[in-house]
Amino acid sequence: MELGWLLWGAAVLLLLHVLMELSPAVNFAVRIGFYCLLCLVSSALTAPVCLLVNGGRTVKNMKIIKAAVKTFKYLFGLRFEVKGLENFNVDGPAIIVSNHQSILDMMGLMEILPDNCAQVAKKELMYAGTVGLIIYLGGVIFINRKRTSSAKMVMSEVAKTMASDKVKVWVYPEGTRNCTGDLLPFKKGAFYLAVQAQVPVIPVVYSSFTTFYDPKKHLFTSGKIKVEVLPPIETKGLTPDDVTDLTDRCFRTMRETLFRLSGRPSPMTSDSGNSMDWQPGC
pLDDT digits (tens, 9 = 90+) for 104-119: 999 999 999 999 999 9
For residues 3-9, average pLDDT: 59
Strand partners, 122: 143
pLDDT of 148 higher than 80: no
pLDDT at 248: 96
State the DSSP string of 199-266: --EEEEEE---TTTEEGGGTEE--EEEEEEEPPPB--TT--GGGHHHHHHHHHHHHHHHHHHHTT-PP
pLDDT digits (tens, 9 = 90+) for 69-82: 999 999 999 999 99
Task: Using CB atoms within 10 Å of the CB of residue 41, give its burial: 0 to 12 exposed, 13 to 18 middle, 19+ buried.
Answer: exposed
Coil/strand/helix, residue 144:
coil
pLDDT at 111: 96
Query: Residue 269 has what DSSP assignment?
Result: B
- Give the pLDDT band (50/70/90) at residue 56: very high
pLDDT of 273 higher than 50: no
pLDDT digits (tens, 9 = 90+) for 153-165: 677 777 777 877 7
Query: How far is it, in rounded angstroms, from Cα 138 to Cα 64?
Result: 9
What value does the mean pLDDT of the chain take? 86
pLDDT digits (tens, 9 = 90+) for 167-195: 899 999 998 888 888 999 999 989 999 99
Query: How far is it, in rounded angstroms, from Cα 184 to Cα 100?
Result: 9
pLDDT at 170: 95
Coil/strand/helix, residue 170:
strand
AA letter at 29: A
Cβ(227)–Cβ(254) below 8 Å: no
Half-sphere exposure of 97 (CA within 13 A, CB side): 31
- Give the pLDDT band (50/70/90) at residue 238: very high
Any residues with CB less than 8 A from the CB of 266 and at least 6 apart, and which? 256, 259, 260
Work out the number of other CB atoms within 10 angstroms of the CB of residue 192: 19
pLDDT at 206: 97
Give how far Cα 109 sits from Cα of 66, 96, 160, Å: 9, 11, 24
H/E run at residue 159: helix 148-165
CATH topology of domain 2-261: Glycerol-3-phosphate (1)-acyltransferase (3.40.1130)
Secondary structure, 3-state, 175-218: CCCCCCCCCCCCCCHHHHHHHHHCCCEEEEEECCCCCCEEHHHC
